[in-house]
């Protein structure tokens, strides 16, 4: 009788041990599955221009939703003091949503981050520089070497959609993107430097000539009738992508300041950004 009880007790213990093992293994596997593939930190200012402010709000919402779908961690901050070595080391991708750092130590930290293999994505106003203005061109490495564009020269107005043309369909960023497609409304920038003459710059998308005339003024300089205008590019010396998109259409003329468009209400353009993000994060599309 005692032997039978002992054997039964041993059997129960083995069953319990097995159950505990399964629970621990499942819990461990679950935690591994939910470990983010990469971590993203977005910096923004969100002051002054309502179009840029609305874009930042839309971007933070869109990237947060995207993070759950593609298993990455998305954080954002308007505290540019976080642009330092210790903070940046936590993240594989840095995004500038609407501006750039002005502090010299923050600039050094970002430059070092990029030179040591960090990844970056920038939108619209993140490349803006104009001397004289509140955002002068006083950072040669960023505007001339890293972005390659130099100073801002002019823009279209009002924010309007453009037909964009893929310049290199073999690049991971443009994988699966139609040769031409209609963008979300945007204020388009023209630059000081000719990016086609920079051997380090690979232009991925430009404005197709079928877009002209682009813009409706009222100033004639705000309506483009011809020319070559890159809108998405990468610098092959760094892990980076710049998007000229990032300016929502707003009801300035009507005086309501109501948001009239959302940069992320365009499936093809969204896929372009997703491709770039996954590429920067080291994941195949």
DSSP 137-185: S--HIIIIIIS---SEEEE-SS-B--EEEES-TTSGGGTT--SEEEPPP
In the chain, % of residues over pLDDT 70: 87
Mean of the per-residue pLDDT values of the chain: 92
Q: Is the pLDDT of residue 24 over 60?
A: no
pLDDT in tens, 242-282: 999 999 999 999 999 999 999 999 999 999 999 999 999 99
| CATH number, domain 41-280 | 3.40.50.880
Confidence band for 14, pLDDT divided at 50, 70 and 90: low
Alpha helix (H) residue ranges in 74-165 = 85-88, 104-115, 140
Calpha distance 198→180 (Å, rounded): 24
Which of the residue ranges 23-32, 92-101, 106-115, 139-148 would you say has the lowest mean pLDDT?
23-32
Calpha distance 92→38 (Å, rounded): 6
Six-digit token string for 93: 């991708």
Q: Output the pLDDT for position 200.
A: 98
Q: Output the pLDDT for position 15.
A: 62
At 64, phi and psi to the nearest 5? -65, -40
* Between residues 12 and 62, the one the model is more confident about: 62
Q: Output the pLDDT for position 34.
A: 77
Q: Is the pLDDT of residue 22 over 50?
A: no
Provide the strand spans (E) within the chain.
39-43, 73-77, 93-96, 119-123, 152-155, 163-166, 180-182, 189-191, 201-207, 230-235, 239-243
Q: Is the pLDDT of residue 283 over 80?
A: no
Q: Output the pLDDT for position 31.
A: 40
Q: Is the pLDDT of residue 26 over 50?
A: no
Tokens 């009738």, residue?
A: 225
Confidence band for 160, pLDDT divided at 50, 70 and 90: very high
Q: Is the pLDDT of residue 40 over 80?
A: yes
Q: Is the pLDDT of residue 181 over 60?
A: yes
In the chain, % of residues over pLDDT 90: 87
pLDDT in tens, 212-248: 999 999 999 999 999 999 999 999 999 999 999 999 9
């Amino acid at each position: 009788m005692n032997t039978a009880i002992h054997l039964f007790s041993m059997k129960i213990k083995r069953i319990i041990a097995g159950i505990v093992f399964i629970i621990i293994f499942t819990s461990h596997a679950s935690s591994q599955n939910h470990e983010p593939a990469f971590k993203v930190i977005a910096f923004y200012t969100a002051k002054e221009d309502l179009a840029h402010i609305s874009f930042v709000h839309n971007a933070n919402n869109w990237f947060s939703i995207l993070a759950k779908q593609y298993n990455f961690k998305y954080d954002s901050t308007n505290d540019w003091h976080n642009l330092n070595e210790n903070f940046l080391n936590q993240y594989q991708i840095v995004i500038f949503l609407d501006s750039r750092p002005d502090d010299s130590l923050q600039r050094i930290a970002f430059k070092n981050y990029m030179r040591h293999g960090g990844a970056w994505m920038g939108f619209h106003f993140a490349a803006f520089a104009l001397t004289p203005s509140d955002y002068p061109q006083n950072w040669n490495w960023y505007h001339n070497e890293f972005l390659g564009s130099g100073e801002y020269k002019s823009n279209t107005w009002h924010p309007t959609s453009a037909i964009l043309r893929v310049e290199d369909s073999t690049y991971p960023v443009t994988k699966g993107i139609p040769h031409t497609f209609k963008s979300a409304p945007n204020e388009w920038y023209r630059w000081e430097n000719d990016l086609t003459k920079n051997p380090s710059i690979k232009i991925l998308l430009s404005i197709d000539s079928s877009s002209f005339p682009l813009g409706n003024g009222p100033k004639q300089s705000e309506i483009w009738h011809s020319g070559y205008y890159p809108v998405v590019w990468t610098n092959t010396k760094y892990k980076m992508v710049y998007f000229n998109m990032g300016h929502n259409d707003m009801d300035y003329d009507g005086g309501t300041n109501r948001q009239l468009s959302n940069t992320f209400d365009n499936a093809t353009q969204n896929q372009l950004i997703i491709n770039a993000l996954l590429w920067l994060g080291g994941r195949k599309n």
